[in-house]
Structure 1
Amino acid sequence: MKNVSKIIPCYAADTSGVCSALYEFGGMIVVHDASGCNSTYSTHDEPRWYDMRSDIYISALTETDAILGNDEKLIEDIVSAAKDRQPAFIALCGSPMPMMTGFDYEAVARDIQGRTGIPTFGLATNGTRSYISGAGMALEAIVREFVHDMPKEDFDGIAINIIGATPLDFGLTGAVENMKKLYSRPKMKVISSIGMGGTLDEIRKAASANVNLVVSYCGLPAARYMEKEFGIPYICGVPLGDVDMIQAGALSSFMYETAHDGISRMMAAMCRGRATDEKAERLVIGEAVLAGSIAFEWSIMTRHAVDVICPPDIDAELSPDKKDMPLYAEEDIKAYIKDRGIKEVVADPLYKYIIPEGCRLIELPHFAFSGRCFAKDMKDPTCNDFLDDLVLAINKKNE
């Protein structure tokens, strides 16, 4: 059976992506699902749950509610909770059951907003897509609701929004804080982080930026909306290491260029030097933007082509030659590695169970894939020693 995970786990679902993306903004997130399923979204896929409060609720959908379509009970429960909690907004998303019954998220959201006066949006998740889809919808909804046109920052430099950072990709490693420090330099200013490490008050000022830095595929829908509505171009990439590193320095240069010529760029894929038909013997598996950034740096270090596979992405064509492959099935990934003669792979430790014999695995934990199993081993990709550790791991494997 195709696309069934028999050996390795699947990635976190779109519902978890919604909860993660909106976790810190002071809203109320309601997942339309069966009673008891809240732990999946709030604890298994959410490392902030034990240290940071957030209003994440489950609708406690019963069999009778599902069969008879008792939407009024759900609406009344949300309205009652909203009057008590007074959230900044209400987000309603769902699981496979409301998908099968034909639940109308937009109509219910409009009804709730009419009764409460609180901004409400319905996000038609169904639990069958990856967190990339859910987080992307959630961040775009936040931008549509709270970002309005305003004058650009009046200073001699670039004003930046960081879009798409969540613990599902970056863990609790301090990555966003480091990115803010990295871009709080002369002639550089961070306006907001639309994702982890951000607030709604900051996001309301996001239209004053002149470039968006998209650090995960989750941020692309919001970035594309802001480009269309406010004329803010974007660039996709993660600054690996400090600004003196090759990749981080190149990313900063491209951000200046993007801000001034208004042309959006996929830096992580564009700069990997794949113009030749060289057969890659190295591979990175993971979320498209971070994996692409790692592949770029790895190709610089080895002076050879590096391929990228993006299992959680729906349409991850981030390079002109479309070599960032959204392979979903574990048998396809395994076959690709074997047939292409891949010798080294950077991926989550759980991929070791499908890596063919003779191929080396350099472990890079991904919270959206292996959850808490290797959370303590996650590394901040923006810290100074990230690339050094990667080089040491590669060299150790090659000994």
Structure 2
Amino acid sequence: MKNLFKRLPTFSADYSGVCNAIQHMRCLIILHGQGGCIGGVSTCDDFEKEKNEERILFTKISEIDTVTGNDRKILNQIVLDSQEIEHDFIVIAGSPIPMLIGTDWKAWVRELEEATGKPVIAMNTKGFLTYEEGEKAVFLELEKKFSKPAKKENRVNIIGDTCLSGWTEDRRTNLKSNLQRQYDKVISWNDNAGIDELQKMCSASINIVASVSALPTVRKLEEDYGVPYMIAEEELKEIKGMEVFNKTGSILLVGEQVIMNQYRKQFRKNGYTGRISVCNFFEMNPEWMEEGDCRLEGEDDYIKYLKEQEGYEYIVGDSLLEQFGGYQKEFINVPQIALSGRLLNDR
């Protein structure tokens, strides 16, 4: 019963991860399914969709088309839409309905590439996994589709700086500004990247890992093309309210591992000597974990973890976690969109 949530909402699904990971690229995004899954993406998870809203389309497959397997109608509509919307390539994300009716994604890719003349990627997402699995999968597919040997240049790729992984526009801008002092060209995959930029991914001097979701892709690029990688190190703004922290007190940071590890590093740099732990409801890289860190499977895991650790003086995390207690002095709200969604954090 560990996946039964009584107080937390459903986490962002894998197809939300796909849509968020590529929403700023010069691509046409098709989310294939009925209204329920689509509403979760557009209403709860798609925190920045207003910037490229015209490039995200929902098929909203009808019941009769679902039962009869009428793919032709949808494929024709995608071809028509592709003629009206400027884009470099097409990415299609699945949902539970395509899985249930056995949509032939390879056939979709073949027919759409022939009809549009553009590269097409089909993601067999089902909605049963969490967002980071979708992000990991689409980054790998982009590497598979567009990577090729290239002459090395003084450039850098930033991969994984998505809003579901905790990256705001300000954070992206600051990271890019810092890197631009060292490199001639800084390409963020989350900042209007197109085919030209993606086809030159292997010419980079280094890749920057902005979230755990980027790890499989940067490791593949290092193995196949010799492009090294490093973890993003961006000077984060101080957490509002941390001025009350006792520098010898214990702190629990709940959120995406790359960002929370950076906060932990900054705390220690600023003289904090107490126990500082990081945990997350989504994937964590064991190599980046310290003693006391924990990957959480659900809310029961979180409650158990707090009891085992005998609580913390301060907890930093999404406001929905405050109800579970476990802190002795202060709870500091740092929104995690993949946990609570845009509606709560718009307040």
Q: TM (normalized to structure 2)?
A: 0.85
Q: Counterpart of 2:79?
A: 79
Q: Counterpart of 2:180?
A: 184
Query: Residue 228 and residue 283 in structure 1: after superposition, are their counterparts in 2 closer, same or farther (change >3 A)?
Result: same
1:24 lines up with 2:24 in the alignment: yes
Q: Aligned-pair distance for 1:170?
A: 3.4
Query: Residue 110 and residue 323 in structure 1: after superposition, are their counterparts in 2 closer, same or farther (change >3 A)?
Result: farther
1:94–1:125: 8 Å Cα contact kept in structure 2? yes
1:287–1:310: 8 Å Cα contact kept in structure 2? yes
Q: Aligned-pair distance for 1:226?
A: 1.4
Q: Counterpart of 2:311?
A: 342
Partner secondary structure for residue 156 of structure 2: strand
Q: Counterpart of 1:166?
A: 162
Unmatched tracts of structure 2, length 5 or more: 239-248
Q: How does 1:145-164 map onto structure 2 within 5 Å?
A: 145-153=145-153, 159-164=155-160
2:161–2:167: 8 Å Cα contact kept in structure 1? no
Q: Aligned-pair distance for 1:164?
A: 0.7
Q: Counterpart of 1:33?
A: 33
Partner secondary structure for residue 50 of structure 1: helix
Q: Counterpart of 1:208?
A: 203
Q: How does 1:76-155 map onto structure 2 within 5 Å?
A: 76-85=76-85, 87-153=87-153
Partner secondary structure for residue 157 of structure 2: strand
Equivalent-residue separation in structure 2 for 1:115 and 1:52 (angstroms): 24
Q: How does 1:8-19 map onto structure 2 within 5 Å?
A: 8-19=8-19
Partner secondary structure for residue 11 of structure 1: coil
Aligned amino acid, residue 260 of structure 2: A
Aligned amino acid, residue 172 of structure 2: V
Q: Counterpart of 2:245?
A: none
Q: Aligned-pair distance for 1:37?
A: 4.8
Q: Counterpart of 1:193?
A: 188
Aligned amino acid, residue 63 of structure 2: E
Q: Aligned-pair distance for 1:43?
A: 4.0
1:327–1:333: 8 Å Cα contact kept in structure 2? yes
Q: Aligned-pair distance for 1:44?
A: 2.6
Q: Counterpart of 2:214?
A: 219
Q: How does 1:239-258 map onto structure 2 within 5 Å?
A: 239-241=234-236
1:285 lines up with 2:249 in the alignment: no
Aligned amino acid, residue 179 of structure 2: Y
Partner secondary structure for residue 302 of structure 1: coil
Partner secondary structure for residue 235 of structure 1: strand
Query: Residue 86 and residue 178 in structure 1: after superposition, are their counterparts in 2 closer, same or farther (change >3 A)?
Result: closer
Equivalent-residue separation in structure 1 for 2:187 and 2:327 (angstroms): 45
Partner secondary structure for residue 140 of structure 2: helix
Q: Counterpart of 2:228?
A: 233
Partner secondary structure for residue 212 of structure 1: strand
Q: Aligned-pair distance for 1:198?
A: 4.0
Q: How does 1:247-326 map onto structure 2 within 5 Å?
A: 281-300=250-269, 301-313=271-283, 316-319=285-288, 324-326=293-295
Q: Aligned-pair distance for 1:177?
A: 1.2
Q: TM (normalized to structure 1)?
A: 0.75
Aligned-residue RMSD, C-alpha: 2.8
Query: Residue 291 and residue 231 in structure 1: after superposition, are their counterparts in 2 closer, same or farther (change >3 A)?
Result: same
2:54–2:85: 8 Å Cα contact kept in structure 1? no
How many residue pairs match? The answer is 335
Q: Aligned-pair distance for 1:285?
A: 1.3
Q: Counterpart of 2:297?
A: 328
RCO higher in 1 or 2 (8 Å CA, sep ≥ 6)? 2
Q: Counterpart of 1:384?
A: none
Aligned amino acid, residue 224 of structure 1: R
Q: Aligned-pair distance for 1:182?
A: 0.9
> Sequence identity of aligned pairs in percent?
28
Using the TM superposition, name which of 288-297 and 118-127 deviates more.
Answer: 288-297
Pick from 326, 351, 356: which aligns with 2:326?
356
Partner secondary structure for residue 175 of structure 1: helix
Using the TM superposition, name which of 90-99 and 357-366 deviates more.
Answer: 357-366
Q: Aligned-pair distance for 1:340?
A: 1.2
Q: Counterpart of 1:44?
A: 44
Query: Residue 238 and residue 54 in structure 1: after superposition, are their counterparts in 2 closer, same or farther (change >3 A)?
Result: farther
* Deviations 1:52-92, CA, capped at 9 Å, x for gaps: 44411112222333333333333232223223435311111
Q: Aligned-pair distance for 1:160?
A: 2.1
Query: Residue 197 and residue 217 in structure 1: after superposition, are their counterparts in 2 closer, same or farther (change >3 A)?
Result: farther
Aligned amino acid, residue 325 of structure 1: C
Aligned amino acid, residue 19 of structure 1: C
Equivalent-residue separation in structure 2 for 1:295 and 1:374 (angstroms): 26
* Deviations 1:194-230, CA, capped at 9 Å, x for gaps: 2246444333332221211101122223212211221
Equivalent-residue separation in structure 2 for 1:51 and 1:239 (angstroms): 24
Aligned amino acid, residue 180 of structure 1: K
Partner secondary structure for residue 34 of structure 2: coil
Q: Counterpart of 2:7?
A: 7
2:311–2:326: 8 Å Cα contact kept in structure 1? no
Equivalent-residue separation in structure 2 for 1:376 and 1:171 (angstroms): 16
Q: Counterpart of 1:262?
A: none
